A = this chain, B = another copy of it.
Amino acid sequence: MRKIAESTVRRLSLYLRFLEEFQSQGIATISSEALATRGGTTSAQVRKDLSFFGSFGKRGLGYSVPELVGKLRDILGLKRTYQVVVVGAGKIGSALAQYPGFGQRGFHVAAVYDADPKKVGADWNGLVVQDVQHLEQDLARAPVDIAILATPAAAAAQVSDRLVQAGIRAILNFAPVQLEVPAHVVVKNVNMAMELEALSYALRNR
């Protein structure tokens, strides 16, 4: 499979959401135009995005909604569940560990870790904050797929190294730090200030 851009993957995630909406409304087929309108993009873009993964849809008939939902879930790796750990039990870590949207998508938060003795042992709706000292031990016993890194900046590099050493291959990084990881590990950085900058850009340039 060709390497596709992050922005394409993002649109595939969006299309999947729209298609699931259509499906819940009992809509059986959808044109690339309708999908484009819903997503604020063009039908050419929709067709191009989907063409990366083989041929879908019939000219003049559009796409079968359930078929395309299944295919997108497959492409996005959503036909299985993922075990996730959150490291860092601060405000962002707390919000993420209890984010209802993760479970709905098959991302199961298995554990939360922190280094602060005042946080360790706290019970968040049944999820008990664990001591990060036991991270390697726990991951050896019950491997996980994805780590969400929500530590302070100063701790991020060290925690990232420990996660990689323990076999983690995917990190969602909320710490404002560029992580250095081996090539087999994928990191996605989330920076809330950058999300606001997309808006300040729009306000400045309209």
Count of A interface residues, CB-CB < 8 Å: 56
* Chain A 1-43: CB-based contact to B (< 8 A → 1; otherwise 0): 1000111011011100000000000000000000000100000
Contact A105 B196 (CB under 8 A): yes
A198 to B75 CA separation, bound complex (whole angstroms): 11
Distance between A151 CB and nearest chain B CB, rounded to angstroms: 14
Q: Given that A1-B205, A186-B203 are contacting pairs, would A197 and B105 also be in contact in the complex, using a CB cutoff of 8 Å?
A: yes
Chain B residues contacting A56 (CB-CB under 8 Å) are none
Of A114-122, A135-143, A155-163, A187-195, the segment with at least 4 beta carbons within 8 Å of chain B is A187-195
* Contact across chains for A204 and B104 when beta carbons are under 8 A apart: no
Q: Which secondary structure dominates where chain A touches chain B?
A: helix
Which residues on B sit within 8 Å (CB–CB) of A186? 199, 202-203, 206
A176 contacts which of B1, B12, B101, B201 (Cβ < 8 Å)? B101
The chain A residues found within 8 Å of chain B, CB to CB, are 1, 5-7, 9-10, 12-14, 38, 75-78, 82, 84, 91-92, 94-96, 98-99, 101-102, 104-105, 107, 145-146, 169-172, 176, 178, 184, 186, 188, 190-206
